[in-house]
Structure 1
Amino acid sequence: MKLYAFLFKNCFFIIFFCSTSIAANFNKLEIKTPVDSIINKYSKNTGEISEEEYKKLVDISYEYSDNMRFEDCENLNFFLLDIFKEDLKRVAMIYHLQGYNFARQRKNKQAESNYIKSAEIRRKIGENLLLNYTLSNLGKVYYDLGDYVKAIESYNEVLEVATKIDNKSTKALGLSGIAIVLSDQKKYNEALKYIRESTDNYQIINDSMGIGRNYYDIGEIKYLMKEKDSALYYFELSKVIGQTHKDELVVSYCLHRLGSIYFEQKKYKEAESYLLQSLARRKEMNYPLEAALSIIDLAKLYKKTQQYDRAATFALEALELSQQTEFLKGQYFATEILSEVYAEQHKFKEALQFYKEFKQIGDSLFSIEKNQKIEEFHTEIQIEKRTNALKLQHAKQKNMLLFICSALAVVAILITVYFLRLRARNKRKYEYRIKQQETEAEKQTLLGVYEERKRISRDVHDDLGSSLSGIKILSEMIFDKTNDPFLKEGHRKLLEMQTEVTQKVRDIIWTLNQENNTLEKLTWYCKSYAEKIMESFEIKTTIKIDSDIPLLEIDDDVRKNFFLCVKEAINNILKHAKASQVQMIFTYNNDIFKVEIRDNGKGFDKNNVKDFKNGIDNMKIRMDVIEGNFEINSDSGGTSVIFSKNIPQNRD
């Protein structure tokens, strides 16, 4: 999921900047000319550069950036800045070009500096339309830097300017930008509201290309909300519109996302077809980072379908591209795939080498994500403070209006009301300050607890998890080299025990991680656990998940005890039931979350359960601890176990 979150952000980066750049309208052969020749050509007749030639130079600058000739672009921009330094309009454009060039390189701090300079000049000379394009790009830079407060401020200024000049196109850009920020904060319904308002503006001006890009963003949000069918619809729609307008970049992203969804649905032929089409387009457009993403998903697909040679070939290519573009997450996923593929091929030396690289990159990524998480906490606090300040300001204005209205009525009543309101306002302000301090203290405490649990989880994963993985690799090597049947049987049992211990370690890590404290993640983890263990015992498993299960936060105890009850029920089936079929049903109706597990085993007599009485008692006790309900019914046709608990959506 983290890879796809990055994919969503990266797609928005490219699409958004493409929508705010000027399309090249000159002979492409000009781009093949060395930048020094272009500079020499125009430096001889700077006083005679026409408006048409100036626009041509601007287009060349954009093309240099888009073709990753960043140094040539920077040299050309410095040349233009020198010869047009007295022309504020063109200086603003050149700073914009420099910002675009740095943004394409993901040098966001330099991009921010240049966009700010461009925006300041354009405000000064009243270039409102072009100002909005600069502000839109600046908002995206702040978004990439994780400064959501400044990103929202930039997009809000875009909306203000767009309303002032009555420009629907840039208004749509601002609304889309706000939607992306909200989506990154998992405020999906608010994000959809903004993106649909943006689409309405594009429809007013008949901008079907803008509509197509918005459909892609809606598809991404629907995908993150687990509404896969709806997501497929919007990706297909965006792809058709992109093909109509030859918007190859958007088409490539739609193809990639369609392929990834079909991969999750185990429709491997369709997934392979879409991913290969996406890769071909990205290579043709010379977008190495995006190509690396497509290659990684193809490598995963080939690994899943046991085409290990192809998986290794694609993973190596993805690793090389990721190293060239300094794409750390791409290196992380590529080394992980390579270590697993080589282990499956019994190439344990290569597997161990890439596993070590995978661990090293993972540690670096964890440090980066930890810092980003802390920054996100601070950003949320700042947003909350600003929101509360605006509410307080609004309350003051409302009180002042009431004061003026009352003054016009009766002076005596006004004085009384004024002092009463003044006292109440001071009390509210005092209570607000106390509450704010309490909120701040609570957040710091929760942050401390969160970091400690993350540390424990990481230590368990890195120390114990790495040791177990090492034991497994060594055991497999010994197993392959041993011909003694007795030793082989012993090593087989050792591998089974190691697999069981590894699963228990994963369960502990999952239990410790507070990011899993949602009803949705509990459901999907139980599903994943059941599918994996039943597959090992060749038991046919049918799992049904209610589409109406909401995104609700739950307590640690609720999540832990629900999972342990499900785990105990599954273990009882494996040990005692002798079942060939198991059905699991997850539902949420009338604020009641329910998990039902049925099997077609031999059943048991409720009056004679001494063999597994402890397990039944434990399940009942665990559900009692979280104030839930436990039911068990059994006969010769099988056994049914039901765990349920009231989890209301609207909780104070």
Structure 2
Amino acid sequence: MRKTVVFLISFLLTFQLFFSQSKKEIDSLNAISFEIRLAKAVQLTDNYLQNAKNAQKISYKLGEAESFSNLSLIYYYQGKFEKDLYYSLLAIHIYEAIGNKEKLALEYGELGYRMKKRNMAKALYYMQKAKNISEKNNIQKPLLSIYNNYGYLKELQKEQDSALYYYKKGLKIKERIKDSLGIPYSLNNIALIYIQKKQFKAAEILLNRSLRIRYKLNDQIGIAENNFYLGDLNFNQNSFLQAITYYNKALEIAKKNGYLDLISNCHEIIAQTQEHLGNQKEALVNFKLFKKYSDSLINKDTNSKVAELDIKFETTKKEKLLLQKEAESKQKTTYLIGLVLVALLIALLGFLIYRQQKFKNKQQEQEFELKTAISQIETQNKLQEQRLNISRDLHDNIGSQLTFIISSVDNVKYAFDIDNKKLDDKLTNISSFAKETIVELRDTIWAMNSNEITFEDLESRIHNFIEKAKEAKDEIQFSFAIAADVKMKKLTSVEGMNMYRTIQEAVNNAIKYAQATTIAIAINKTETQIEITIQDNGIGFDQDTIVKGNGLRNMQKRMEDIGGQFNIQSATFGTKVTLLLNA
């Protein structure tokens, strides 16, 4: 029986988009999604590295360890396993040093689970350490994932009864705290053991219960995973045609959302199922696709690098123990020397008190600066996590729903012979509007995940916008010029997005209402300001009589929000919009 990799649970909801894609087949999945994933991965890596450096400067060990832990997870989902192990071990070393048992257990558990395909012996070693730390110190939170993941390692070793024992322990905790996200994973794991034991009815009940929960949560990863497991259930009962149906449902969702590991597993099991059905051609096609996807996820050099880093970590721990023993042997001698030093310390006491009083104010200032720096680091981490969550929700939920609308409208148009031209035009308009909304969504996600935006970034976005406008209005001549000394000017993400939307609105107004034949965009710099002009040769309008609509008011509001100015001049020979921003 095939079993999908369970790391598609929990944290992949946030970081699933960080896999790098190299093969032509994989690149064709979702070009827009991959571009956003790559930008996020680079941005997050830089942010957490900077956070770690800032924490080191002020000796904020917890912030440093959490930054290393986040870095290890990012590198894992990028397939950079040696860096994953390196930063995870750094985090473990710090958690041990500061005595944070909960974080230490979680980190050992995550590392052990991620090691399962690379080194099972080490995976079990790290997972057992995580379990022992949590149970010994009665820490419940890490056990939510540790019992489940430890059970999976036992299952991989064909120890079904042990796996079932730990799966049920994990489910019991999740049901007690009503963990709606975690319960389906435990239900699925127990069901898969029942399949292995050929208790098919019991397995089907659990899988369907899990699927109902996931539909309530609109958990696309979970829905895909459950369809895969229902395929396994039918496969093991020799219902190969029904199994193919479930596997194809899982594959469709996985491709739509870019879940590469699940895509690889689907192609592999579909190839096996087609072979059982005697469809050798389909089996071969799916097996080739499986090889392409699996090759893109495997780093052949990983095992040697993992072993090397692991040896370094263990050697460091042994050296530390040796140093401790040496320190103990010298303790008696140090004690005698200490007695002599006491007399000197008493003599110095008066001087130290004087210095303490003298520098008291300075120390208070330093403590305040330290607290402020810690607060800034924690706030930055929280803001970054919120950005990731919002971006993920926008992309996974709204993006997928818009894609579904486009697909549904197109299917209606091609599936039915529509004679009503108005209806056909309306469906076309809906599809076009949804596609434009996806582009707008992409721009919004780009801005949200950028701490800074340069005018050079805006230049490429404006060029793309103009090219699309040319396709829609080929009778209009567009021109765009930007001064060289403006390109590297940095804006905040809010300033950059407001500037881009205002330019976009001005061009759209000229296209819709001005009856213009030329539209020119220019960005220049004066001594104190950056000036952006959008000018057309259209029919213009009377500024004294025209009622400002939402478009003009929105442009003015956007510029005021970022401390800029908005001016518009219009006459019978054309309209000129001027945007001013402090240089």
TM range (shorter): 0.3 to 0.5
Give the TM-score taking structure 1 as reference length.
Answer: 0.41
- Higher relative contact order, chain-length normalized (CA < 8 Å, sep 6+): 2
Give the TM-score taking structure 2 as reference length.
Answer: 0.45
